[in-house]
Chains A and B, each alone.
Chain A
Amino acid sequence: MSDQPRKPLPKPSSLSQPFWDGLAAGEIRLQKCDRCDTYVFYPRPYCPHCLSEALTWTAVSGRGRVYTYTVVRRAMHPAFQPDVPYVFAIVELEEGPRVETNVVGCAPEDVRVEMPVKAVYDRTTAGIALLKFEPA
């Protein structure tokens, strides 16, 4: 098994750990700026909009829409080759931030730009849950 290529998994930092903990618990937690109400994603030590360090981890709805996507038919990383064709997408969350993700739970041909989607949590064997989406 050790000879098989393995998919790259996130290595959370102390800064990003609450985000990954949220996914493991089945919800999306994002930093929100106490001062200007802006959601911050990916996790940062301060709000890039107003420079405030007062950020509070806040659970969001998990609803969004497909901002754009592609269907990957040849994987660059060999560990993804068994999955082709798969959808590599950018989803815009209802609350504003966009995330890089996969759309699962439907045929790649059925994905559309602006399609409503909802979060699903893909628990990997390494204990990390990845944030993916399926048609809402």
Chain B
Amino acid sequence: MSLKRAAAITGIAEMAPRASAEGLSTMGIWADVSRKAILDAGLEPSEIDGLLVAPPIVDMVAMWPSHLGEYLDIHPRYANIVDLGGASAAGMVWRAASAIQSGLCRAVLCVSGEASDVDTFYAPRAKRPTQQLPLREFEAPYGPMGANSGYAQIAMRHMHEFGTTGRQLAKVAVDQRTNAGANPDALYRDPLTVDDVLSSPLIVDPLHLYEIVQPCTGGAAFVVVSADLAGSNAQTPAWLLGAGEATRGVMLAQVKSITTSPIAQSAPLAFEMAGVTPDDIDLISVYDCYTITVVVTLEDAGFCEKGRGGPFVEEHDLTYRGDLPLNTHGGQLSFGQPGLAGGTSHVTEAVRQLQGRAGERQLPDCELAFVNGNGGIMSEQSSLVLGV
């Protein structure tokens, strides 16, 4: 069954990321962005009958949707947690649409974000989880650096197989920084050059500091509504036109080819449902936890041939003024990665551009956006086509 035009995103809200979590709570952030998103959608709190939550990375507790529903004093008929890592936001969009299409609810509030910073994120967890995940038994003893080392291993293998260069990867961070310069909410806005990226400290070879996201504090929410509610506010509805999802294991040693991601399955599903091709897309809004993520995503989503992602990002201008606008909000590399709300930033930016309210970085003619959420070590992929 197709989800094409089954639902639209009408309201969005996003907090400007902050480097420090000082004085902020996750629930407080969620409540703030929830209130603003409901207002933006032109709805009353009583009209919110669905609630999806992407849990905070630093604080996993049970029943997050119930805690948030209590805080907001809303009473959803459909409530769930969506944990696909960074793919959670894109995953929430089509799950909300699916629930709406099946008649479970009409207006789904989708919430993400957390009070986190470099200190809390990298602090040793006080209590180690007791579950004996294979990851803990067969990977942790060898000193991985969280997700950083996994993406570095993908980059190293990509360089080996396809000749991708450090300069090509760095170009992604540079163009996105230019975009961030036009986004007052971005964490990092000072211009960056390829040489700046390559002379920043190597953290996990071949990735440098400026190719790696920074954990920070922030949050974002959006409201997905049924067609009959889509006219409830002044904004143009951003319709869900296509969706596709695909997953694989989290441990890279278990993956047959680490240079190809499940986007090779999820993106074609989304394009097919929408009835469009990558050539039709006006805005590419894709997960960018690292520079290599964008290169692999462009290849697997079909924007260029497999293995040509490096030359492709060098040949194109990825800025909001360029021929291939990508992550016009600055991407997570410059905007910031407030936990799973980092992935939400790709959804909210697509909606902003489609609704014509992206300010200085507004694209002149944006009717179709490709959004990709990526979780784990490219293990969870949720691809969307949104349009007006």
Binding site for B on A (CB under 8 A): 5, 7-13, 16, 42, 67-78, 80, 83, 86, 88-90, 97-102, 108, 113-114, 128, 130, 132
- The answer, yes or no, to whether B195 is at the interface (CB within 8 Å) is no
Contacts of B254 in A (CB 8 A): 42, 98
- From known contacts A76-B144, A78-B124, A100-B252, infer whether A10 and B153 are also in contact, taking CB-CB under 8 Å: no
- From known contacts A11-B132, A73-B205, A74-B203, infer whether A88 and B252 are also in contact, taking CB-CB under 8 Å: no
- From known contacts A69-B153, A70-B205, infer whether A102 and B143 are also in contact, taking CB-CB under 8 Å: yes
Q: Which residue of B lies closest to A90 (CB)?
A: B253
Whether A100 and B251, one on each chain, are in contact in the complex, defined by CB atoms closer than 8 angstroms, is yes
- The answer, yes or no, to whether B258 is at the interface (CB within 8 Å) is yes
Whether B204 and A71, one on each chain, are in contact in the complex, defined by CB atoms closer than 8 angstroms, is yes
Contacts of B137 in A (CB 8 A): 10-13, 16, 42
- The answer, yes or no, to whether B358 is at the interface (CB within 8 Å) is no
Min Cβ gap B325→A in Å is 31
Complex CA–CA separation, A130 to B142 (angstroms): 8
- The contact sample of 18 A-B pairs, CB cut-off 8 A, is A8-B140, A10-B138, A10-B141, A13-B137, A42-B138, A42-B254, A67-B258, A68-B154, A73-B204, A76-B144, A88-B153, A89-B153, A100-B139, A100-B144, A102-B143, A108-B205, A113-B157, A114-B160
Complex CA–CA separation, A130 to B140 (angstroms): 11
Min Cβ gap B120→A in Å is 14
Contacts of A80 in B (CB 8 A): 143
- The answer, yes or no, to whether B148 is at the interface (CB within 8 Å) is yes
- Given A12-B137, A69-B156, A88-B143, 7 further pairs, Cβ under 8 A: A8-B140, A71-B202, A72-B204, A76-B144, A88-B145, A88-B204, A130-B142
Min Cβ gap A110→B in Å is 13
Contact of B145 among A74, A100, A113 (CB under 8 A): A74
Complex CA–CA separation, A67 to B160 (angstroms): 10
Contacts of B201 in A (CB 8 A): 73
Contacts of B154 in A (CB 8 A): 68
Whether B146 and A100, one on each chain, are in contact in the complex, defined by CB atoms closer than 8 angstroms, is no
Contacts of B71 in A (CB 8 A): none
Q: Which residue of A lies closest to B161 (CB)?
A: A113
Whether A99 and B253, one on each chain, are in contact in the complex, defined by CB atoms closer than 8 angstroms, is yes
Min Cβ gap A9→B in Å is 6
Contacts of B132 in A (CB 8 A): 11, 13
Contacts of A78 in B (CB 8 A): 124
Whether B122 and A102, one on each chain, are in contact in the complex, defined by CB atoms closer than 8 angstroms, is no
**Chain B contact residue count (CB 8 A cutoff):** 36
Complex CA–CA separation, A89 to B152 (angstroms): 10
Contact of B152 among A12, A70, A99 (CB under 8 A): A70
Min Cβ gap A133→B in Å is 11
Complex CA–CA separation, A70 to B142 (angstroms): 12
- The answer, yes or no, to whether B103 is at the interface (CB within 8 Å) is no
Q: Which residue of A lies closest to B130 (CB)?
A: A11
Contact of A130 among B141, B156, B253 (CB under 8 A): B141
- The answer, yes or no, to whether B247 is at the interface (CB within 8 Å) is no
Contact of A71 among B122, B138, B205 (CB under 8 A): B205
Complex CA–CA separation, A103 to B171 (angstroms): 31
Whether A76 and B148, one on each chain, are in contact in the complex, defined by CB atoms closer than 8 angstroms, is yes
Whether A76 and B145, one on each chain, are in contact in the complex, defined by CB atoms closer than 8 angstroms, is yes
Min Cβ gap B114→A in Å is 18
Complex CA–CA separation, A58 to B146 (angstroms): 32
Contacts of B206 in A (CB 8 A): 70
- From known contacts A71-B205, A73-B204, A100-B253, infer whether A90 and B153 are also in contact, taking CB-CB under 8 Å: yes
Contact of B124 among A71, A77, A86, A113 (CB under 8 A): A77
Contacts of B204 in A (CB 8 A): 70-74, 88
- The answer, yes or no, to whether B77 is at the interface (CB within 8 Å) is no
Complex CA–CA separation, A88 to B207 (angstroms): 14
Contact of B258 among A68, A76, A99 (CB under 8 A): A68
Whether A76 and B142, one on each chain, are in contact in the complex, defined by CB atoms closer than 8 angstroms, is no
Min Cβ gap B295→A in Å is 15
Complex CA–CA separation, A74 to B209 (angstroms): 11
Interface string of B115-149 (1 = CB under 8 A from A): 00000001010001000101011111111111011
Min Cβ gap B117→A in Å is 15
Min Cβ gap A130→B in Å is 6
Min Cβ gap A92→B in Å is 9
Whether B124 and A7, one on each chain, are in contact in the complex, defined by CB atoms closer than 8 angstroms, is no
Contacts of A69 in B (CB 8 A): 153, 156
Q: Of residues B132, B134, B136, B142, which shows the largest number of chain A Cβ atoms within 10 Å of its Cβ?
A: B142
Complex CA–CA separation, A8 to B129 (angstroms): 12
Complex CA–CA separation, A80 to B84 (angstroms): 28
Min Cβ gap B9→A in Å is 35
Q: Which residue of A lies closest to B122 (CB)?
A: A76
Complex CA–CA separation, A42 to B134 (angstroms): 7
